[in-house]
């Protein structure tokens, strides 16, 4: 017992200060791939190896239209491995949560007729995730208390995931991330929840359960789709067993890309959703 107390005193706090201070990210962490569209001479090898179809190509009238969907991307890095021109690289960016699904889609149009047989960029529309409107370092606990008069309650719903996202969600409760420092807690019943945190490509046997859970959650409520599967179906897509992204079944307010999203990415998305909840409370 004495040793435990001694260890507790000498170790100090293990809790990270994110989002007040930047997250400490391992150099091995895989974040979103970045595309230097001007320097990208040929998108086809990347599209061929992409396991989820996140890079799609359509050719018409001498143009090649390339669509990159971060909502499908599992951050595997294969596109970077096969892009010999160095135009694709994996970053360590993880703050990608957004309220707008379309903002996760990057489009570029290339001319096929440039000298040397290289693609030449003609136009592009970039993907822009939008983070918490308020300063991410805002006093979240105070804001939630002002908003709800109590803590923010989250009901997690596994609608068919591989449990990779669940591992990261569980980590939100450990001493390192300690999400309860914001007054945010996980609850067992949707009837006590303000937010549904939904993972997985919605499997057909979870579809009805998800609808019922949504119906059982009192208004105002927000729904957060977690990970590539929750956003789009991810590696599973839409098939005989899965319906695809969560928004195929219920309305989604915030999307958190990643496979799985790391705890800081989840926290970033939850804070964004909290801002959305605040808006719906003040306008209702």
What residues line the site for ligand SF4 (CB under 6 A)? Answer: 33, 49-52, 54-55, 73-79
Cβ-based nearer residue to ligand SF4, 75 or 182: 75
Roughly what angle, to the nearest 10 degrees, separates helices 164-171 and 263-283?
80
For the bound state, the minimum distance from the C-beta of residue 51 to ligand SF4, rounded and expressed in Å, comes to 6
For the bound state, the minimum distance from the C-beta of residue 81 to ligand SF4, rounded and expressed in Å, comes to 8
Q: How far apart are CA 174 and CA 170, in angstroms?
A: 7
Instruction: Find the farthest-apart pair of alpha carbons in the chain and give their distance in angstroms, rounded.
Output: 77
For the bound state, the minimum distance from the C-beta of residue 253 to ligand SF4, rounded and expressed in Å, comes to 24
Cβ-based nearer residue to ligand SF4, 78 or 217: 78
Cβ-based nearer residue to ligand SF4, 95 or 253: 95
- Give yes or no for a cis peptide into 19 (omega within 30° of 0): yes
Q: Which residues pair with 153 in a beta bridge?
A: 185
Cβ-based nearer residue to ligand SF4, 22 or 51: 51
Cβ-based nearer residue to ligand SF4, 79 or 229: 79
Other C-beta atoms closer than 10 Å to the C-beta of 125 total 12
Q: How far apart are CA 42 and CA 145, in angstroms?
A: 52
Cβ-based nearer residue to ligand SF4, 127 or 143: 127
Of 173, 168, 217, the residue nearest 195 (C-alpha) = 217
Cβ-based nearer residue to ligand SF4, 79 or 193: 79
For the bound state, the minimum distance from the C-beta of residue 14 to ligand SF4, rounded and expressed in Å, comes to 31
End-to-end CA distance of the chain: 53
Q: How far apart are CA 88 and CA 71, in angstroms?
A: 17
Of 277, 130, 141, the residue nearest 217 (C-alpha) = 277
The angle at the Cα of 274, spanning 273 to 278, to the nearest 5 degrees, equals 115
Cβ-based nearer residue to ligand SF4, 51 or 251: 51
For the bound state, the minimum distance from the C-beta of residue 33 to ligand SF4, rounded and expressed in Å, comes to 4
Q: How far apart are CA 42 and CA 226, in angstroms?
A: 31
The angle at the Cα of 23, spanning 155 to 83, to the nearest 5 degrees, equals 100
Q: How far apart are CA 261 and CA 267, in angstroms?
A: 10
For the bound state, the minimum distance from the C-beta of residue 46 to ligand SF4, rounded and expressed in Å, comes to 6
For the bound state, the minimum distance from the C-beta of residue 160 to ligand SF4, rounded and expressed in Å, comes to 20
Of 56, 57, 54, 65, the residue nearest 32 (C-alpha) = 54
For the bound state, the minimum distance from the C-beta of residue 132 to ligand SF4, rounded and expressed in Å, comes to 25
């Amino acid at each position: 017992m004495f040793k435990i107390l001694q260890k507790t005193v000498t170790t100090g706090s293990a809790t990270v200060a994110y989002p007040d201070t930047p997250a400490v990210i391992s150099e091995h962490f895989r974040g979103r791939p970045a595309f230097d569209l001007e320097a990208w001479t040929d998108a086809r090898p990347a599209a061929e190896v992409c396991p989820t179809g996140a890079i799609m190509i359509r050719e018409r009238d001498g143009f090649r239209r390339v669509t990159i969907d971060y909502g499908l991307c599992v951050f595997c890095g294969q596109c970077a491995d096969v892009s010999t021109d160095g135009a694709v690289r994996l970053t360590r960016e993880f703050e990608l949560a957004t309220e707008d699904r379309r903002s996760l889609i990057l489009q570029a149009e290339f001319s096929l007729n440039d000298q040397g047989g290289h693609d030449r960029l003609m136009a592009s529309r970039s993907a822009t995730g939008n983070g918490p409107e308020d300063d991410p370092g805002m006093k979240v606990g105070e804001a939630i208390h002002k908003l709800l008069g109590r803590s923010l309650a989250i009901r997690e719903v596994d609608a068919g995931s591989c449990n990779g996202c669940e591992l990261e969600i569980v980590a939100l409760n450990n001493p390192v991330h300690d999400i309860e420092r914001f007054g945010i807690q996980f609850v067992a019943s949707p009837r006590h929840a303000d937010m549904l945190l939904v993972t997985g490509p919605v499997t057909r046997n979870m579809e009805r359960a998800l609808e019922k859970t949504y119906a059982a959650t009192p208004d105002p409520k927000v729904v957060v789709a977690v990970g590539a599967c929750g956003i789009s179906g991810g590696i599973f897509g839409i098939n005989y067993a899965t319906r695809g992204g969560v928004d195929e079944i219920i309305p989604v307010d915030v999307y958190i890309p990643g496979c799985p999203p790391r705890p800081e990415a989840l926290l970033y998305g939850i804070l964004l959703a909290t801002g959305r909840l605040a808006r719906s409370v003040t306008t209702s």
